[in-house]
Structure 1
Amino acid sequence: MAEKHTALYDEHKKLGASFTDFGGWQMPLKYSSELAEHRAVRNSAGLFDLSHMGEVWVTGRDAAAFLDYALVGKISAMPVGKAKYSLICNEDGGIIDDLITYRRPATAGSADGSSDRFLVVPNAGNAAVVAAELSKRAAGFDVEVNDASAVTSLIAVQGPTAQELLLRLVPAAQHSQVTELKYYAAVEVPFLVGGAGLDLLLARTGYTGEDGFEIFVSNDDATGLWQALIAIAEDGELTPAGLASRDSLRLEAGMPLYGNELSLQGDPFAAGLGPVVALSKEGDFVGKAALTAKKAAGASAGRRLVGLKGLGRRAGRAHYPVLKYGAVVGEVTSGQPSPTLGYPIAMAYVDVAFTTVGTTLDIDLRGKTEPFEVVDLPFYKRAR
């Protein structure tokens, strides 16, 4: 399979990025120092290319009801302008992907009504699978599923000064649209790029644990927006950041990564995502019976996702065994030293009997054990 490049690939090359494969895409792993990029997001702002993510539009008279059926959350209850984190599961309750859905203002539809609009954003490696699954599930609903991933770019500005930076590209008359935008909400905002105004969808969402924004832009306008963001920042105000720092940031924030914490073999309740599943919503949805049974089984058996704080210096990594009294009781899903906190952190699935906060466990680091302690997630919370 030929490797895929985002519309910003040449910009990353100019900045000296080191590339890595992610979901078939050649994406910047880092530009210079992943540690410096991580700290820039925590202290000022980082600039990310997220154009490998998917963008699937769901429109039509039945769009809300359809998404209630296709996803585990109650999407119909979401007000226009808001966003919602949800999951798409199979009939067995296995997680196909985690995703964010944005409800946009309705557009004129048929002569006697309107057409609801939702933007569904799946993960990079799952974008085609999610789009195909949504199309399959649309049978019997008055909806249209349009995969716009190939023509859409996504640029994120994340960090405590993200808002201040974005305001420099937004006309003063529209500043309040940015400053008053709530977390998990989105709005169309004009951006001054190349002497012209671009109306772009701006979302106050992110994957770093910091305040920040994600901007949906056409591939044709992505380079102009990227360059404009870099140009309006003074030295040290905005640091291009790659996937390495994005991973360490999301781990500190206790956010799951598909393929690590989430998979077809797992389930939302074991992953701590039970509140995302709206079992009480009216009507059926894909996976409802299986997920109802999983919830009824309770948390008395199996494994659950926990946070682990290192009591030593060495970090656990994905797939390393978790031990108690020398016996395997779990497995690490993500782990590394925390640049912000100064000690190793990890997420792991652990036998329920050993998931109480304060429980001490060991991680087998290739034959040598290192002590860890079960802690609440997230590891890091930004100051409000």
Structure 2
Amino acid sequence: MSTTNQELKRTPLFPVYQKYGAKTIDFGGWELPVQFTSILDEHQAVRTKAGLFDVSHMGEVLLKGEGAIDSLQYLMTNDIRRLSINQAMYTAMCYPDGGTIDDLLIYKLAEDEYLLVINASNINKDVKWIEEHVNSKTTVKNISSEVALLALQGPLAEAVLQKLTSVNLSEIGFFHFLPKVDISGIEVLVSRTGYTGEDGFELYLDAKDAESLWDKILEAGKEEGVLPCGLGARDTLRFEAKLPLYGQELSADISPLEAGIGFAVKVNKENDFIGKEALKEQKEKGLSRKLVGIEMVGRGIPRHGYAVYAIDKAEPIGFVTSGTHSPTLKKNLGFALIQAEYASVGTPVAVEIRNKRVEAVTVKTPFYKRT
């Protein structure tokens, strides 16, 4: 266990970290587990069995009222009107210039009630932005401190969770949810979503019940080899599956189109939305920058912020947004935001690692896709 720092925020599950051997780090002002056993073991558990994550640092915001749908249509890039009750949607929220405020999930709880799940580091910024841009018929309530969020991910996730409930979990489709499921006596919103590229569930519940549910899931999954997992494996898993990380693939300076999540940007929806004109222009004129996958040919790992060069140019053509040694593919891989003319698969490039240009090549993404 690391030295504790009372200034760091803690999730409701902090008390169980020591019990399960967590090594904690400062993650955006939160004291969170980077690993419990090893990043590699936890990564492999999720790819082959199942892993349990504490993601209670994420933010939750309730939007209610007859104006909620109009407010969301104006704030979000995706078409929120397409949502049915008990369905979730991935979207982005942008500045007028098309830069990204955040990427998030929206859950339709009822006709005039929506749950927004936002990134931990953006909670205050997002809530302020939302409050400033909703209409008078919409109420906004930040419930982040009241909600715990666990993620059970992996091919055996359903079989493990099914042991704890009489509800038929196989009936919950991808990006759908059930709001009040009894999981071993605890009321849980069970959502078939995740951030790993595997099947699995995200479980929203009252913060006071988090410890109990954590222990029950790990006990139920003992035979299947379910492991508690930390942020390290969460990052390598999402990276392989090409799921963007805010602050790296997405930022105020990177639009959702540049980041490759254009499927969540509906520039043709009837409603006006913040950033619509800028994003429409990007789409019509063609992107000047694109996010690509890169595979190292020479030795070295492409890390966030490293400069990327064309073979024949002195000036950088872009930079690495994320990079790591892929546990599944056993290769040094990265994502890079580079000038569009170099984005074709198979283009030779170089990454500057410790003041030396190391050979790499652009490759197809995602690096991993479950079969």
Relative to structure 2, which stretch is displaced further, 245-254 or 326-335?
A: 326-335
**What is the rounded CA distance, in whole Å, between the counterparts of 1:190 and 1:251 in structure 2?**
31
Sequence identity (%): 39
- Equivalent position of 1:267 in the other structure: 255
Counterpart-to-counterpart distance in 2, 1:58 and 1:156? 23
Measured in 2, the distance between the counterparts of 1:355 and 1:225 equals: 45
Verify: 1:210 aligned to 2:206, yes or no. Answer: no
Q: Which of 63, 72, 75 is 1:70 aligned to?
A: 75
Which of 183, 187, 197 is the equivalent residue of 1:199? 187
Pair 1:356-2:351 in alignment: no
Q: Secondary structure at the match of 2:233?
A: helix
SS of residue paired to 2:293 = strand
Unaligned runs of 5+ in 1: 107-115
> Does residue 156 of structure 2 align to residue 161 of structure 1?
yes
1:120 to 105, 116, 119: 116
Please give the TM-score of this superposition, normalised by the length of structure 2. Answer: 0.94
Q: After TM superposition, give the deviation of residue 235 of structure 1 in Å.
A: 4.6
Give 1:133's aligned amino acid: W
* Match among 326, 337, 343 for residue 338 of structure 1: 326
Letter in 2 for 1:288: K
| CA 70–276 in structure 1, closer or farther in 2 if over 3 Å, else same | same
- 1:61: how far off? 1.1
Equivalent residues of 1:67, 1:76 under 8 A apart: no
Distance 1:313 1:212, change over 3 A: farther
Partner of 2:40: 35
**Partners of 2:298 and 2:358 within 8 A in 1:** yes
One-letter code of the match for 1:271?
A: A
1:255 and 1:273 mapped to 2: Cα distance?
A: 9
Structure 2 residue 26 is matched with structure 1 residue 21: yes
User: 1:123-145: per-residue Cα shift (whole Å, max 9, x none)?
Assistant: 010112111211111133x1111
1:1-384 aligned at under 5 Å gives the runs 2-106=7-111, 116-140=112-136, 142-171=137-166, 174-175=167-168, 178-193=169-184, 197-235=185-223, 237-299=225-287, 302-325=288-311, 327=314, 328-383=316-371
Number of positions where the alignment pairs a residue of Structure 1 with one of Structure 2? 364
What are the superposed Cα offsets for residues 35-68 of structure 1, whole Å, 9 maximum, x if unpaired?
Answer: 1111111010010000000010111112112100
Q: Within 1, Cα distance between the matches of 2:255 and 2:317?
A: 18
Instruction: Check the 8 A contact 2:181/2:190 in 1, yes or no.
Output: no
Normalized against structure 1, the TM-score is what? 0.91
Shift of 1:310: 2.4
In structure 2, the partner of 1:111 is: none
Q: Distance in 2 between matches of 1:321 and 1:130?
A: 30
Amino acid at match of 1:38: H
How far apart in 1 are the matches of 2:14 and 2:279? 41
Extract unaligned runs of 5+ from structure 2.
1-5
Cα distance in 2 for partners of 1:211, 1:312 equals 34
Amino acid at match of 2:21: G
Shift of 1:291: 2.0
RMSD, aligned CA: 1.5
